[in-house]
């Protein structure tokens, strides 16, 4: 059997396993095990694993993050608020990457991107500490050209563009808003890559919305969680990941 041709601008899939931990925590026991999910995701083709250790530990817990940092054979993306507690933990665990996100206690999921323009001064030393520890810093931000400039000023090598508004527009069947939101992502990706940033994207992506984002040539990585874990209930985690990977590859080709 011939092996697939190498892709000239590969698109990585980072699988977010937070909601495996959400289900585990609903019963207070040990199953389903997010570490097992991470291993299955890697076996199914995930290029990396993302886990978000929230301040309230509502899904991923400290012990999960410690184990992931030690056992994973693919890059770990440690998603976190830009607090001293989290930065200290990341520096101790040395994940491949740290994705800094805004975090509000009452929100259901991460709402909106990080205000890196307003919070420049407080973020600067934190981005620097992580970078000096050899951790690739990614800033989860709104798709906007001025925000790309702000990320560069902070010295972050990577931005993750928030795709939530685009995915909401797709879900609502609002074609005009979908085109508008996709245009924002495309412009920010193109501008950001042009000034030397590595571009990731994520939040809310599902099989019916991933294609147009995956098709943007500047995007190097998509981080997807909820849709994959939800679909896993029906088709299994491995199949859900293979289906997503297939949709991404088709769009990129
Ligand atoms: N990227 C970031 C920075 C996120 O906060 C999240 C949600 O945890 C995701 C990607 C994945 O979003 P979803 O679970 O909706 O696929």
Active-site annotation holds for 52: yes
Mutate to test the pocket of ligand 1, among 226, 240, 248 (most ligand atoms within 8 A of CB): 226
Q: How far is the CA of 73 from the centre of ligand 1 (A)?
A: 21
Residues 123-146: pLDDT tens digits?
999 999 999 999 999 999 999 999
**DSSP string covering 72-124:** -SS-EEEEEES-HHHHHHHHHH--SEEEEE---TT-SS--S---TTTTHHHHH
Residues 175-218: pLDDT tens digits?
999 999 999 999 999 999 999 999 999 999 999 999 999 999 99
At 103 the pLDDT is 85
Residue 101 Cα: closest atom of ligand 1 = 3
| φ, ψ of residue 223 in degrees (nearest 5) | -115, 120
| Tokens 């599902």 -> residue | 206
Task: Answer whether residue 1 shows pLDDT above 50.
Answer: no
In the chain, helix, strand, coil percent, each to 5?
50, 15, 35
Structure tokens at 93: 């665990």
Active-site annotation holds for 79: yes
Q: Is 78 in the pocket of ligand 1 (CB under 6 A)?
A: no
Strand partners, 12: 221
Residue 52 Cα: closest atom of ligand 1 = 8
239 vs 119, more confident? 239
Q: By alpha-carbon position, which residue is closest to atom 4 of ligand 1?
A: 203
pTM, rounded to two decimals: 0.95
Q: How far is the CA of 155 from the centre of ligand 1 (A)?
A: 23
To the nearest 10°, the Cα dihedral for 231, 55, 42, 220? Answer: 90
At 120 the pLDDT is 87
Task: Answer whether residue 90 shows pLDDT above 60.
Answer: yes
Residue 11 neighbours by CB distance under 10 Å: 21
Residues 41-77: pLDDT tens digits?
999 999 999 999 999 999 999 999 999 999 999 999 9
Q: By alpha-carbon position, which residue is closest to atom 9 of ligand 1?
A: 203
Residue 223 Cα: closest atom of ligand 1 = 10
Q: Is 79 in the pocket of ligand 1 (CB under 6 A)?
A: yes
Q: How far is the CA of 3 from the centre of ligand 1 (A)?
A: 32
Helices of type H across the chain: 18-27, 34-43, 62-71, 84-93, 120-132, 145-154, 164-172, 175-194, 210-214, 226-235, 237-252
Q: Computed over its alpha carbons, how large is the radius of gyration of the chain?
A: 17
Enumerate residues 6+ apart whose C-beta is below 8 A from 135.
78, 90, 91, 94, 95, 96, 97, 98
- Mean pLDDT confidence for 3-18: 77
Task: Answer whether residue 108 shows pLDDT above 80.
Answer: no
At 8 the pLDDT is 56
Domains and CATH numbers, the chain: 12-252 (3.20.20.70)
């Amino acid at each position: 059997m011939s092996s697939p041709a190498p892709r000239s601008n590969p698109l990585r899939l980072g699988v977010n396993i937070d909601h495996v931990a959400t289900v585990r925590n609903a019963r207070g026991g040990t199953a389903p095990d997010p570490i097992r999910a991470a291993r299955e995701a890697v076996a199914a083709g995930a290029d990396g694993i993302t886990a978000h250790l929230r301040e309230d530990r509502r899904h991923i817990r400290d012990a999960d993050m410690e184990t992931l940092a030690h056992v994973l054979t693919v890059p770990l993306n440690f998603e976190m608020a830009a607090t001293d507690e989290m930065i200290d933990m990341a520096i101790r665990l040395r994940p491949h990457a740290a994705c800094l996100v805004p975090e509000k206690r009452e929100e259901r999921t991460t709402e909106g991107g990080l205000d890196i323009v307003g919070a420049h001064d407080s973020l600067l030393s934190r981005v620097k500490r992580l970078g000096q520890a050899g951790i690739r810093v990614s800033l989860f931000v709104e798709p906007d050209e001025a925000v790309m400039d702000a990320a560069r000023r902070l010295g972050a090598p990577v931005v993750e563009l928030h795709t939530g508004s685009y995915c909401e527009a797709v879900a609502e069947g609002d074609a005009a808003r979908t085109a508008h939101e996709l245009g924002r992502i495309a412009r920010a990706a193109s501008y950001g890559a042009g000034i030397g940033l590595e571009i990731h994207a994520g939040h809310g992506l599902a099989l019916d919305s991933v294609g147009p984002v995956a098709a943007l040539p500047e995007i190097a990585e998509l981080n997807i969680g909820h849709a994959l874990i939800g679909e896993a209930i029906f088709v299994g985690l491995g199949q859900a990941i293979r289906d997503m990977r297939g949709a991404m590859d088709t769009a990129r080709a």
